[in-house]
Amino acid sequence: MENDKPTLTQMLRAPFFSSIISPLFAGTLLAVSVNGSFSILGFLFVMIMGLALHGATNVYNDIYDTIQGTDKVNHHRNEFSGGSGVLVNYPDLFPKMYSIARICLILAFFATAALMLVVEKSLWPILWGLYFLSAFFSKYYTAAPVKLAYRGVGEISVWLAFGPMAILVAAVSQNVGFHPMIIAAMPITGISTLSILLLSQLIDLQADKATGKLGAAARKGPAFAAFLFVSVQLLLALNVFILSLYFVSDGWTILISLIPYLLLLPGISRIVLREYNHPDKLKPAAKKNVQLHLSFALLFSLGIGLSLVV
């Protein structure tokens, strides 16, 4: 029935927009810390740009993972991994999904152009370079002929897009470029999003191997991917310590973002290191890891904001 068709929010996989909102907030607040001023228009335009590009990424991933068969053969799909399954269940929505992805890219293009009104001319090449690289990643993470995720470089592109690139474009929207504080913060949010990808690769391993999608688990085995998952989470915590103690004035407030890591990461890690060969038993860990990601994202920006006022 028509009323049963997925909503626009479901097609965009909007609940995962936290992965781009977090670095945009964090990059903006760090830039304000650097230059002591805040551009409301810069923040508005970069938020539109980032959300539109993330929307395009989510939709294109569903389109091409369905075309290449990954979503069709994934028997372990859940709300935290394996894509939305929208096109598997409603193949007649392909034209609409293509239109949504293209509209998102166009919207991001105009938001980027609007940023030129508030960003210094010297930063325009960085601004447009980030737009075009993000647009490239959004489609060719899964689309032929590039298929980054099928060539073993998907993790790098995800980390770049939701870490260094997102933090930097937010800083640029406030007329800050490669400042040491910005550089020190660049890896953090990308690692947080990467952790979701690594855990989903363990759950989706059977489908990925069947269709040639070369995530870390498919390339190196589930034990390696489980160890990598825990390692990058610990690396994130170390990065937060370095940023808060050495780069941000009164940055000790940023350490509140690690409270969820103290509460949730030990339990998540135990499940992942014990059950990496059992996709269904990893699903509770995937849920908790998303909770960790969301709570960290909120507290990371809050901690940076508090450093501006203490």
Say what the alpha-carbon torsion angle 75, 81, 85, 88 is, to the nearest 10 degrees: -40
Among candidate residues 243, 237, 238, the one with its CA nearest the CA of residue 265: 237
Q: Report pLDDT for 188.
A: 97
pLDDT of residue 89: 82
The whole-number pLDDT of residue 19 equals 92
What is the reported pLDDT for 83? 63
Which amino acid does the sequence have at 144?
A
Residue pLDDT, tens place only, 75-118:
555 666 556 678 888 889 999 999 999 999 999 999 999 999 99
Q: Exposure pattern of 223-246 as b/e (b: 16+ CB <10 Å)?
A: eebbbbbbebbeebbebbeebbee
Judge residue 75's burial from the number of C-beta atoms within 10 Å of its C-beta, 0-12 exposed, 13-18 middle, 19 or more buried: exposed
Q: Residue 78 phi/psi, 5° resolution?
A: -150, 180
Q: What is the number of other CB atoms lying within 10 angstroms of the CB of residue 35?
A: 13
Nearest to 24 by CA among 59, 49, 58: 49
Domain 2-309 has CATH 3.40.50: no
Task: Tell me how far the alpha carbon of residue 204 is from its chain's centroid.
Answer: 18
pLDDT tens for each residue of 127-139 = 999 999 999 999 9
Which residue from 104, 110, 107 is spatially nearest to 58, judged by alpha carbons? 104
Which residues does residue 81 pair with via DSSP β-bridges, in sequence order? Answer: 78
Alpha helices, H only, the chain: 8-12, 18-35, 40-67, 86-89, 94-115, 124-140, 154-162, 164-173, 180-203, 205-211, 216-220, 222-246, 259-275, 279-309
Read off the pLDDT of residues 134-163 as tens digits, 9 standing for 90 and up.
999 999 998 989 999 889 899 999 999 999
pLDDT in tens, 235-278: 999 999 999 999 998 899 999 999 999 999 999 999 999 999 99
Q: Which long-range contacts (CB under 8 A, 24 or more apart) does 266-273 make?
A: 268/292, 269/229, 269/230, 269/233, 272/199, 272/202, 272/226, 272/229, 272/230, 273/226, 273/227, 273/230
**Taking the CB of residue 37, how many other CB atoms lie within 10 A of it?**
11
Q: Which residue has the tokens 């935290």?
A: 80
Whether the predicted pLDDT of 1 surpasses 50:
no
Tokens describing residue 105: 């890219």
Q: How far apart are CA 223 and CA 121, in angstroms?
A: 48
